Every structure is written in structure tokens, then in C-alpha cells.
Amino acid sequence: MATCPGCFLPSNQTAGIGSTQTLALSLHLSADRSSKHLEYSKWKRSPYKHQSNVICSFLRLDLLPAKNGEEVTKHFLQELLNILLAYISKSLNRSSKVLDFHHPHQLKEGLEGFSLELQDQPDNLEQLLVDCQDTLKYGVKTAHPCFFNQLSTGLDIIGLAGEWVTSTANTNIFTYEIAPVFILMEDIIFKKMHSIIGWSEKEGDGIFCPGGTMSNLYSVLLARYHFFPRVKTAGMLALPPLALLTSTHSHFSIKKSAAVLGIGSESVFLVKCDERGKMIPKELESSIRTAKSKGLVPFYVNATAGTTVYGAIDPLNDIADICERFGLWMHVDAAWGGGLLLSKRHRMKLQGIDRASSITWNPHKMMGVPLQCSVILVQKKGLLQECNQLCAEYLFQPDKHYDVSYDTGDKSIQCGRHVDIFKLWLMWKAKGSEGFESQVNHCLENAEYLYYKLKSRKDFQLVFQSQPEHSNVCFWYLPTSVRNMPPGPERDRELHMVAPKIKAKMMEEGMTMIGYQPLGDKVNFFRCVFSNPATQKEDVDFLLDEITRLGRELYS
């Protein structure tokens, strides 16, 4: 049966229906589809115009599982696919904007017919498609080659396909019973990651978590259970006063974990770093001794492989030596740096990672897997299960007819979990490890290119002079007025305001996006990060041109 491409009606039913361009015609079928009635609704605009300018729509109830709902469902999803394809093409088009910025109150008030408010009456499918399109329109195109704002950027088409398949399967990943293929894929990927890290086949376990912060939380939970297993049942009474150690440049999630787990954020000792943001091993030793002298029991050290701002990698082997000597749990937060393990050129930067008791690794960062995809890897087999299992009888029956060791859900602190494995598995299939390797190398080449560009410019200043280890490049833009000031607090005050001012204008214009922050005694500076394989050197040039142009306009 031929159907109108702009609506969900057979062509013979739309012929002759008259309408103005601003009126949309909704054709609602009742649930039992025995009676049809026509209804006009006033939509100002819609991209789905029938050749006679009639826009026809169905309601949600006309979709599957409605009887004979295949055709309407097919057309609805095809129209959605067209919207998504147009969005993806636009995201990768360098002449299109990265964002169309609006303030929160503007979006709340509604824009050009796009309203966030919810009504009692259902909207029709046509309106839902317009809403999908508008949601993307007023969002940020994180796949754009000139989006440098976050560690997770880009849009991998195979990964996207994986996410679609995952959503279509719409299952939970706590038992083999309802997620047999996904559970086995997790097993395969964990083995792959363990071998890349350098753990033996007999070692290693893991669980997918909703983000790096949760992975880090698991690491503290596991370390505490490893040393004090009574805590699971007896709680805090089973514990001495504990201390954790992490560097001043490490992620805030270590402190947050201490707060969440009742250890207290004040029990986290922040170890000093060198000028590049790497933990100083001697300082770690002295912090351990300080903690002990205060009557605390240090049990956990977090080393970072790829700090959030500088991309610094702590000296893992030196830290492992210290942890061994003091009998401490060594965790490596490689949420950002884990991807470097896939590159023969860069993996030696993480030497010593195999000595870690646990590792956080976010494939949704450097490996470009669609958000979110994060794991906690644990060297000691069985610990995750012991620490977290509660054996809920309605899910984890021991007398099932298959090998129940594949019911992995009780390793988690969650019950229901999103399936994050499939997109990663599918991307690995599509690229092979080699594909990931060249992707990682490409991102670091972009960082190197930016670094040398900045080095040669008088109107920019690098935050630290040596070449970055990861793909983070940190720098100040120096307007002439600031450049002519002598070093000191007055210059710092002026310089502190430069990046926020440029960023504000950059977001209003929307052609590129980069983050900034202060750090320690450093006033606001830009942090450029590369994880998008679509980004090329011309985009790096464009970023610098844009900062210069905006800076000149603001400071002329």
C-alpha cells in the first residue's frame, strides 16, 4: 500500500484534503480502529508536509502493539531516522554551528512552538517528531569537529547502531536468563581488557558502571571490604578510622566516594603533584606517614592515569612500590587514560598499571564509545561478588538449569542496569584493536599539533612548557593589554577574566566550544581535549583563529 511520505496515511486517503500551511490535520484512529475522525490542530510549522500541504498525524495508540500498527510504526521510525540522519550530517558539517545557545528561561518559556510543558491530552506523532527535532536543534552537537569542551566527544556510527540495538532489546543485564548474549559479551570484553592491562588469565573481574565516578566508588568499596570484610554486615563499627590517598590533581570522585561510604571527605589526604600535575612519590610516602601519625589507618591509594585537566599520568610503578611496601590497595583511575593502552606508541606511559588492584576505564572517553560506557576492573577474582552479593531469591535462584555463575548482576551495587556492553563490542568488531589504536594516535597527534602551534605564538601561553602526555593542552590567551602588564596579582586578576569572557561570546556565536577552569594557583585557563576522530588540524587552526578573533573584539 503506497503511503504519503510526510504522514502515515495511505496516499488515496490524503488526496483532496485541503489545509492551510499553518494548520495541521490530525487523523486519529480510535484504539479499535473501527471509527476514524478528523481533528485540526494548530501547529505553526512542521517539516513533514504532504504534497498538498496537508500534515496528517496519528497518535501513539496507532503504533504497535496496535492491531495493524506496523505501517504507522514503520513510517514513524523512518521519519525519526530522517531527522537523526539530518542531525548527524549537520553535526559533521564544519559550516554549521556547534550550538544554538539559549538561556534556561528562554527554553523554559518555549521557543518557536517548542514547549517543554506537559499536557493532559496526548500530542500526535507529528508533534512528537517535531519535538525530537527541536530537542536536537537546541542541544549541543558534541560530534562536531570543533567541540573541544569535554573528554567525551564525537559520534561513532557503529556505536550508535549498537545503542539502537540495545534499546530495542530493552533488557536488563543482571541475569543470563534475560540477557544471555550481552552477559557473554561482557565476559569477552573483560578478558580482552585484562589481557591489554597485562593481568594473567587467572586474574581479573569487572562490572560495567554508570560512569567513572561510580567506577571509582566501587574501587573504594572493594578496597575497604578486602581489608575489613566485617564492614558489610557490621557497618562502621567494624572499622578503625580510615585514610585514603590521592593526588591534588585527581578527580573529585575519590573524595565523593569517601563521603558516600561514610569514611568522610576529611579522611582523604591530597598528595602534592609536580608542575605537570603528576603525583610526587616522596610526597605520597610522607602523606601516608602523616595519616598514620594522626591515628588513621591508610588503606587505599588512587593513582590517576590521565588527570581531568592536565591529562597527567602519575608514576604508576613508583606508586605501586609504595603501596606494596605499606600493604595498601592501589587503584588506578584510568577513566581518561585507559584508551592509551590500545596504542603501541603511547601505552608505555601507563607502565605499572598491571600492578593495580583495581582500575577505572571509560571507553566512552578516548575510545569514543557513545555515552555511557565505564568499567571497574578488579584483579582479585570473586571479590566483587563477595563484597556486593545479597542473593535476592527472586532473581538469583541457585537452582536454575544453567551455569548460574553467568548471573553476574549480584556483583553490582545496583539491581537494574543498562546494557552498556553491546555498543563497545560492536565497535571493537568494526574497528578491531587496530582501529582503536589509530583513533587514539590521531587524537594525540592533534594535541601535539596544537601544542607546537601555541608554543610559536606570542598571544598564547602554555600552562606548562613540556609536551602533554595525553591529549589535554592547557593554555591562556593573552590580549595585548594583559601581555603588556608585569607579572603579579593585577595581571592575574585581568587574565582570570579573559577565558570566561571569550567563552561566553563563543557560546553565543556557537561556532566552537572549549572549556576553562582555574587550577591551584593558576588563574582561569583554557583546556583543549581531543577525543573526536572527526577533528582535523584545520579544526585546531579554526579554534585558535576563533579565540583570537573573539579576544580582539573583546579587548580592542
Instruction: Considering the complex, state which of residue 19 and residue 150 has its C-beta at the smaller distance from ligand ABU.
Output: 150
Q: How far is CA 509 from CA 91, 101, 518, in A?
A: 16, 8, 24
**One residue of 24, 151, 356, 519 binding ligand ABU per CB under 6 A:** 151
All 3 cell numbers of residue 44? Answer: 505553526
Q: How far is the CB of 378 from ligand ABU (least distance, A)?
A: 21
Binding mask 320-359 for ligand ABU (x = CB under 6 A): ----------------------------------------
Q: How far is the CB of 519 from ligand ABU (least distance, A)?
A: 13
73 sits near ligand ABU (criterion: CB under 6 A): no
What residues numbered 356-395 form the site for ligand ABU, per CB under 6 A? none
Q: How far is the CB of 532 from ligand ABU (least distance, A)?
A: 12
Q: How far is CA 369 from CA 163, 169, 216, 366, in A?
A: 10, 19, 19, 8
Contact 138, 103 (CB under 8 A): no
Number of residues forming the site for ligand ABU (CB under 6 A) = 6
Burial label, 146 (beta-carbon count in 10 A; 0-12, 13-18, 19+): buried
Interface segment toward ligand ABU; rule CB under 6 A; list 69-77, 147-155, 318-326, 471-479: 147-155
The strands making up 460-462's β-sheet, listed across from edge to edge, are 147-148, 513-519, 522-529, 472-477, 460-462
Interface segment toward ligand ABU; rule CB under 6 A; list 55-63, 68-76, 144-152, 541-549: 144-152
Long-range contacts, stretch 160-167, CB < 8 angstroms, 24+ apart: 160/370, 160/423, 161/423, 161/426, 162/370, 162/422, 162/423, 162/424, 162/425, 162/426, 162/427, 163/370, 163/422, 163/423, 165/422, 165/426, 166/418, 166/419, 166/420, 166/422, 166/423
Binding mask 268-307 for ligand ABU (x = CB under 6 A): ----------------------------------------
Nearest partner of 376 among 256, 183, 217, judged by Cα: 217
Instruction: Considering the complex, state which of residue 127 and residue 216 has its C-beta at the smaller distance from ligand ABU.
Output: 216
CA 459 remoteness from chain centre? 32
Q: How far is the CB of 366 from ligand ABU (least distance, A)?
A: 11
Burial label, 71 (beta-carbon count in 10 A; 0-12, 13-18, 19+): middle
Interface segment toward ligand ABU; rule CB under 6 A; list 19-27, 51-59, 146-154, 324-332: 146-154
All 3 cell numbers of residue 180? Answer: 544471555
All 3 cell numbers of residue 194? Answer: 585484562
SS3 206: strand
Q: Are strands 56-57 and 36-42 parallel, antiparallel or unpaired?
A: unpaired
Contact 185, 175 (CB under 8 A): no
Give Dmax (Cα) for the chain.
Answer: 88
Burial label, 291 (beta-carbon count in 10 A; 0-12, 13-18, 19+): buried
All 3 cell numbers of residue 242? Answer: 580510615
Give the number of residues written for the chain: 556
Nearest partner of 113 among 129, 96, 97, 99, judged by Cα: 129
Binding mask 209-248 for ligand ABU (x = CB under 6 A): ---x------------------------------------
Instruction: Considering the complex, state which of residue 152 and residue 219 has its C-beta at the smaller distance from ligand ABU.
Output: 152
**Residue carrying the nine cell digits 514547549:** 115
Cα–Cα distance for residue pair 318/324, rounded to 1 Å: 10
Instruction: Considering the complex, state which of residue 55 and residue 373 has its C-beta at the smaller distance from ligand ABU.
Output: 373
Instruction: Considering the complex, state which of residue 56 and residue 332 has its C-beta at the smaller distance from ligand ABU.
Output: 332
150 sits near ligand ABU (criterion: CB under 6 A): yes
Instruction: Considering the complex, state which of residue 251 and residue 278 has its C-beta at the smaller distance from ligand ABU.
Output: 251
Interface segment toward ligand ABU; rule CB under 6 A; list 14-22, 129-137, 148-156, 498-506: 148-156
Instruction: Considering the complex, state which of residue 26 and residue 257 has its C-beta at the smaller distance from ligand ABU.
Output: 257
Q: How far is the CB of 470 from ligand ABU (least distance, A)?
A: 12
Q: Are strands 56-57 and 205-209 parallel, antiparallel or unpaired?
A: unpaired
Instruction: Considering the complex, state which of residue 82 and residue 150 has its C-beta at the smaller distance from ligand ABU.
Output: 150
**Residue carrying the nine cell digits 538449569:** 401
Interface segment toward ligand ABU; rule CB under 6 A; list 150-158, 239-247, 291-299, 353-361: 150-158
439 φ, ψ (degrees, to nearest 5): -65, -45
Binding mask 183-212 for ligand ABU (x = CB under 6 A): -----------------------------x
**One residue of 50, 194, 249, 251 binding ligand ABU per CB under 6 A:** 251
Instruction: Considering the complex, state which of residue 372 and residue 408 has its C-beta at the smaller distance from ligand ABU.
Output: 372
Q: How far is the CB of 515 from ligand ABU (least distance, A)?
A: 6
**Residue carrying the nine cell digits 590500545:** 342
Cα–Cα distance for residue pair 44/48, rounded to 1 Å: 12
Interface segment toward ligand ABU; rule CB under 6 A; list 62-70, 149-157, 191-199, 231-239: 149-157
Instruction: Considering the complex, state which of residue 151 and residue 316 has its C-beta at the smaller distance from ligand ABU.
Output: 151
Instruction: Considering the complex, state which of residue 226 and residue 251 has its C-beta at the smaller distance from ligand ABU.
Output: 251
513 sits near ligand ABU (criterion: CB under 6 A): no
Cα–Cα distance for residue pair 473/461, rounded to 1 Å: 11
CB proximity list for 224: less than 8 A, separation 6 or greater: 231, 239, 242, 261, 263, 299, 300
308 sits near ligand ABU (criterion: CB under 6 A): yes
Instruction: Considering the complex, state which of residue 151 and residue 378 has its C-beta at the smaller distance from ligand ABU.
Output: 151
Instruction: Considering the complex, state which of residue 287 and residue 372 has its C-beta at the smaller distance from ligand ABU.
Output: 372
Q: How far is the CB of 554 from ligand ABU (least distance, A)?
A: 24
Contact 459, 477 (CB under 8 A): yes
Q: How far is the CB of 308 from ligand ABU (least distance, A)?
A: 5
Q: How far is the CB of 362 from ligand ABU (least distance, A)?
A: 8
Cα–Cα distance for residue pair 217/261, rounded to 1 Å: 8
Residues engaged in binding ligand ABU (CB under 6 A): 150-152, 212, 251, 308
